Structure 1
Amino acid sequence: MSTTQARLSKDGLPDDTGAFAWLRALGPQGRRAFAGAFGGYGLDSYDFFTLPLSMVAIAAYFSLDSGQTGLLTTVTLVVSAIGGAVAGVLADRIGRVRALMITVITYAVFTVLCGFAPNYETLLVFRALQGLGFGGEWAVGAILVAEYASGKHRGRTLGAVQSAWAAGWALAVIVYTLVFQFLDADTAWRVMFWTGALPALLIVYVRRNVHDAPEAAAQRRESAEKGSFTAIFREDLLRTTFFATLMSTGVQGGYYTLATWVPTYLKTERGLTVVGTGGYLTFLITGAFTGYLTGGYLTDRLGRKKNIAIFAILSAVAILAYINIPAGADGLLLVLGFPLGFCMSAIFSGFGSFLSELYPTAVRGTGQGFTYNTGRAVGALFPTLVGFLATSWGVGGALVFGAVGYGLAVLALIGLPETRGRELLVPEPVGR
């Protein structure tokens, strides 16, 4: 008889501790929900990055200055706050899956329309409307999966969903490299937006195969309280809502500063070609994908707050190191791309589980949708500020504001409770 005794779970069965235990623990329905949320978020990322990657060509086509190009991103993120908040309420009222399909259709349609824009003003409007769907998809998809996941594995599970952002980003860079190599820039940026129709294929899968977690759906139907904005500002949730929004603002201000301006920085201040920029972004994106998965593991091991604090500090340090690389040291620029992508992505891995665990089932969609996307909207001021300051400071110098955002996130954590291990489908206390 073996002297090594198998670890048993609470139900007396052998405890699954394998690398993919989190995926097996979801069950068949949960894995289909995971696939739908992963695909939705990956294509959400793809559609978002069609703009930053095409920004130089768009600016040349419409004769835009850096402030106007920065505004294209800012308006997307600001309107995404509205879309995310509304999608959160819809998720609490009509269900997670139905809300997910609405968000995917919205961002796909308006991304395609951006490719037909005859002038800057029309492009600005279409990009703003794209933000309605873009803002809602992550919050709804994250909650859908979170309600299938156990407290033990939730960080890793949601970290894996979050890694879809890097996958979508990578796909956008591949398509960008090919399209801009074979087409002239004035046509290529439009084609990039037209490829944003890809999410239509996902809708077919979600409609046929994905369903809300049965226990969560039952709790939501039986609850007298339905999703509403006033509910997340009641006395017992006000503190949580305020500090969660502040945390989200800091992290996303730092992230979108980098996501928006690094491609332009590499081209205008480092003089890289389209292929060269794609090569450098490959290291950044590889770091991001690895960071999402690693951060998901650490948020289960260390706790939600520690994971966010550690990677906020490391992200700020990475930004400062990245923009202070001496001219001509392009090899060092390449090497530092990996830790930069790793740190600024690992911090997001705990968001899906943390925000889901801060709110009760009846208002979980509203709380997560509002805090995440309001933070995104306020954080969107950072890319615009960088755009206007770039004319005098240079893009590299202005990117320092991303580090300021990460500092703000660390301060916000003081006002939030640790939620590691909290189960979602039982009555849970909220607050400190």
Structure 2
Amino acid sequence: MAESPSPLPESLREPWYQGVTASHWLIVLIASGGWLFDCMDQRIFVLARQPALQELLGGSADAVVKNWGGWATTMMLLGWATGGIIFGIMSDRLGRVKTMVVTLLVYSGFTGLCGMSRTGYEFLAYRFLVGLGVGGMFGAATTLVAESVPGRFRAIALGSLQALSASGNIIASLLSTVIQPGKQDFLWGLAGWRILFFVGILPAILVVPIVLILREPERWKEAKRRVQEGGGRREHVGSIPDLFRHPTWRRNLLVGVSLGLAGMAGLWGIGFFSPELISAALQGESQEVVDRVRGFATLLQDVGSFCGMLAFTFVAAFVGRKPAFFGAFLLCLGTTIFVFNSLNSAWDAYWMLPLMGFAQLSVFGGYSIYFPELFPTRLRGTGVGFCYNTVRYLAAPFPMMLMYLNSALVAHQVDEPFRKAATILSFLFVLGLVALIWAPETKDQPLPE
């Protein structure tokens, strides 16, 4: 029996706030906390990556440090993709809440261990293990919210979850202005970057409200019960082959992967190298000045990200998912090229990075809204994990590709090689625009069953 969206129920024609209770908001806030602190740990890595590797590699040349930074980012993305598969299946089979607990402990624990790294290879290994937990949290949190709140509230709830994640980035950027990652002997004889990673352990405390307050969605329990009672029907919970067998889910999966790859590779392969862009623009300044500018500029980049995700949520909720993605990917292409070719001072960083953050992170607000709407309940965690996390296998080479292009342009004595390498890779955002040709519009549609 084919699975497909049912006719639009009366509940979806009501105002978005109809039937929304304090309990629904509490679910959104706690789930948002899990993803918020996940993003905080990611931003700590982005800010601490360069000074950490400079120390661990014993003062190697800048090009060598940048190459290792690319590898560290690639290792995290590979772990992220692997965690997306493992914990996406776990989410469908064992539950959304249990998966959130496990992934939270994994990403916070190994973030702390990054601060104990003694060699570059240890650092890379810890980044891979952090990625496992990071990859699982998004799918579990978004499916929990999607299945727990009223239909008309779904886009706003999921968009808010993603927008609030920018607060985690902001917290990390603020921390870096106090705990300067490039400062040696910051505390107890340890460099600032190590202390920053130790702070990343603290989100593990969120396990307490997750266990005490959150409950598995009734929709998930019912879907699991139906599959168990299905007898000879070829339906399974958390099955990757089932995503490919059904033509609708297969098309939706390919659309989601294409949208995800365009945004992921663009952000992690280009946008999150903004600290390195600032360092290049401020050559000759003291490390203290560079750290301060990087901290405040990335903070403002995160404020732009927050606004971008809210803007995407508004357009997606009241106009449509596809128009929101179309406008967002166009902005990604234009702003990324502009910023990487125009940023030349601290003042430029303060006003340009928010523009790039607005564009590049706006599409991530779309992922949290759109991906859970593409798959049935029995496959939702697996499908979201595949689209949001597994694409990182495809996105993982892009940080190294940026550094390879940079090295090749340096070898050919091209002016501003790092900036030109980023410009070339920016055209990856066009993939997202092309994928929209086959993307279904899910506005005002119930979740498929």
Same fold (TM over 0.5): yes
Give CA-to-partner distance per residue, 1:340-377, whole Å, 9 cap, x none: 11111222212122111110111111111112112233
**Given residue 48 of structure 1, which amino acid in structure 2 is its aligned partner?**
Q
Which residue in the other structure is 1:165 paired with?
165
Which residue in the other structure is 2:53 paired with?
59
Q: Secondary structure at the match of 1:273?
A: helix
Which residue in the other structure is 2:256 paired with?
244
Answer whether contact 1:292 1:348 (CA < 8 A) is retained. Answer: yes
Answer whether contact 2:281 2:344 (CA < 8 A) is retained. Answer: no
Which residue in the other structure is 1:193 paired with?
197
Change (3 A) 1:243 1:199: same
**Given residue 433 of structure 2, which amino acid in structure 1 is its aligned partner?**
V
Answer whether contact 1:52 1:260 (CA < 8 A) is retained. Answer: yes
What RMSD, in angstroms, separates the aligned Cα atoms of the two structures? 2.3
Change (3 A) 1:332 1:111: closer
Q: Normalised by the size of structure 1, how large is the TM-score?
A: 0.89
Structure 1 residue 269: Cα displacement: 2.8
**Given residue 282 of structure 1, which amino acid in structure 2 is its aligned partner?**
L
Change (3 A) 1:274 1:357: same
Structure 1 residue 120: Cα displacement: 0.9
Give CA-to-partner distance per residue, 1:307-344, whole Å, 9 cap, x none: 1111011111001111221645x534432222211111
Which residue in the other structure is 2:245 paired with?
234
| 1:284-323 paired onto structure 2 within 5 Å | 284-323=301-340
Change (3 A) 1:260 1:170: same
Change (3 A) 1:241 1:215: closer
Which residue in the other structure is 2:232 paired with?
none
Give CA-to-partner distance per residue, 1:106-139, whole Å, 9 cap, x none: 1111111111111111111111011100111011
Structure 1 residue 278: Cα displacement: 1.9
Structure-1 separation of matches of 2:84 and 2:154: 22
Answer whether contact 2:112 2:200 (CA < 8 A) is retained. Answer: yes
Change (3 A) 1:25 1:379: farther
Answer whether contact 2:56 2:120 (CA < 8 A) is retained. Answer: yes
Answer whether contact 2:304 2:355 (CA < 8 A) is retained. Answer: yes
Quick check: 1:70 aligned with 2:93? no
- More deviation in 299-308 or 219-228? 219-228
Unaligned runs of 5+ residues in structure 1 are 1-8, 428-432
Structure 1 residue 401: Cα displacement: 4.3
Change (3 A) 1:194 1:332: closer
Which residue in the other structure is 1:99 paired with?
99
Structure-2 separation of matches of 1:256 and 1:165: 16
- More deviation in 372-381 or 303-312? 372-381
Answer whether contact 2:180 2:292 (CA < 8 A) is retained. Answer: no
Quick check: 1:36 aligned with 2:36? no
Give CA-to-partner distance per residue, 1:191-215, whole Å, 9 cap, x none: 1111111121100110000112223
Structure 1 residue 89: Cα displacement: 0.7
Answer whether contact 2:271 2:356 (CA < 8 A) is retained. Answer: no
Structure 1 residue 259: Cα displacement: 4.3
Give CA-to-partner distance per residue, 1:36-57, whole Å, 9 cap, x none: 2111111101111222101221
**Given residue 56 of structure 2, which amino acid in structure 1 is its aligned partner?**
F
Q: Normalised by the size of structure 2, how large is the TM-score?
A: 0.86
Which residue in the other structure is 2:233 paired with?
none
Structure 1 residue 60: Cα displacement: 1.3
Which residue in the other structure is 1:360 paired with?
376
Structure-2 separation of matches of 1:168 and 1:25: 29
Q: Secondary structure at the match of 1:85?
A: helix
Q: Secondary structure at the match of 1:147?
A: helix
Structure-2 separation of matches of 1:184 and 1:154: 48
Structure-2 separation of matches of 1:73 and 1:345: 18
Structure 1 residue 262: Cα displacement: 0.4
Which residue in the other structure is 2:87 paired with?
87
**Given residue 134 of structure 1, which amino acid in structure 2 is its aligned partner?**
V
**Given residue 187 of structure 1, which amino acid in structure 2 is its aligned partner?**
A
Quick check: 1:386 aligned with 2:402? yes
**Given residue 421 of structure 1, which amino acid in structure 2 is its aligned partner?**
D
Answer whether contact 1:91 1:99 (CA < 8 A) is retained. Answer: yes
Structure-1 separation of matches of 2:425 and 2:391: 14
Structure-2 separation of matches of 1:234 and 1:314: 35
**Which of residues 270, 281, 285 is equivalent to 2:298?**
281
Structure-2 separation of matches of 1:258 and 1:41: 22
**Given residue 350 of structure 1, which amino acid in structure 2 is its aligned partner?**
G
Answer whether contact 2:278 2:349 (CA < 8 A) is retained. Answer: no
Structure-2 separation of matches of 1:184 and 1:386: 32
Structure-1 separation of matches of 2:32 and 2:445: 23
**Given residue 297 of structure 1, which amino acid in structure 2 is its aligned partner?**
F
| 1:102-141 paired onto structure 2 within 5 Å | 102-141=102-141
Give CA-to-partner distance per residue, 1:148-203, whole Å, 9 cap, x none: 23332322211110013211111111111111187547611111111111121100
Unaligned runs of 5+ residues in structure 2 are 1-8, 229-235, 284-288, 411-415
- More deviation in 312-321 or 294-303? 294-303
**Which of residues 182, 200, 206 is equivalent to 1:202?**
206
Answer whether contact 1:226 1:362 (CA < 8 A) is retained. Answer: yes
Structure-2 separation of matches of 1:350 and 1:397: 28
Which residue in the other structure is 1:341 paired with?
357
Answer whether contact 1:249 1:374 (CA < 8 A) is retained. Answer: no
- More deviation in 395-404 or 142-151? 395-404
Answer whether contact 2:147 2:217 (CA < 8 A) is retained. Answer: yes
Quick check: 1:417 aligned with 2:440? yes
Structure-1 separation of matches of 2:19 and 2:166: 24
Quick check: 1:211 aligned with 2:215? yes
Answer whether contact 2:117 2:123 (CA < 8 A) is retained. Answer: yes
Runs of 4+ in structure 1 off by over 6 angstroms are: none
Q: Secondary structure at the match of 1:306?
A: helix
Structure-2 separation of matches of 1:409 and 1:382: 16
Which residue in the other structure is 1:430 paired with?
none
Structure 1 residue 80: Cα displacement: 0.9
